[in-house]
Amino acid sequence: MDTLETRELRYFMAVAEELHFGRAAERLGMAQPPLSRAIQQLERRLGVSLLKRNRRGVSLTGAGEVLLHEGRAALDATTAAARRTRRAGGTDTPGGPRHRLVLAVKAGASHDLLHKLLDAYAAEPEAAEIEVLPSGTCEQEDMLRDGRADVALMHAPFNSLAGFDSEELMTEGQIAILPAGHPLAAHKTLSLADVGDIHDLPLARWSRHGIYPPGPGPEIHDQTQLAQLIALGRTVAVFPDSARAWLWAEHTAVPLTDAPLVVTHIAWPAHSRSVALAGLIRTATRL
């Protein structure tokens, strides 16, 4: 049997992520016995063992690891299809709503570029409605894969462009954003080593795919929180140079001499056939 039902995948994913049938059943809102039977039936249909079961708990087999990885991608694809179909609904009806594209952007980055892109595209005939969706670090990738976004501004080397089509839009350096009264704020330039080892000003930590890197700096949830903590002298952050657009009077930006260049790309799912999206990409490449 070479086909899988989305229900089966959701059941397996819950068990594979929780590694506990009881917690997985609770997460799915069902009783444990039918969940166990469903997983056993899936294993029989596929002809492989997906889970190792013993007194210590549950773990994944090699085949289970493969299905966990492939299953996530498959469920993201079905969710994306549903979301993008709903957004397109009614656009073929005379007098219906305009096509709508959701553009994911990292909060605080590429302000000027985003303004230019939106203004230039709005002037195009038959331009779609653009909904700008701010996101955290690396969230743009997941938003494109699961259909929350149709297109995204992404930043190499921080974002992975694997599996997407993309076009380069601009390249810029990076800056350290410090409290205006800190001694290092008076420097004309700094190095990554300078900002990575400030005893009284630990680097802010952003979540990457739901995981915060280790370190003494505060865990950052959004740009407003970060701006306030920098202004209060509690942290320092490293951003692309275009982040100067959102700085407060209590902040100072100092160029970093050895930070890698940041390349902003406009990226979209490789399989997209959206005419509205193609128009937005053409506009972006002409900027």
Ranges of residues in the chain with a pLDDT under 70 are 1, 90-98
pLDDT tens readout for residues 120-164:
999 999 899 999 998 877 789 999 999 999 999 999 998 999 999
- What global pTM score does this model have? 0.78
pLDDT computed for residue 133 by the predictor: 94
DSSP assignments along 223-274, one per residue: HHHHHHHHHTTS-BEEEEGGGGGG--TTEEEEEBSSSPPEEEEEEEETT---
pLDDT computed for residue 151 by the predictor: 97
DSSP assignments along 51-87, one per residue: EEEETTEEEE-HHHHHHHHHHHHHHHHHHHHHHHHHH
pLDDT computed for residue 93 by the predictor: 53
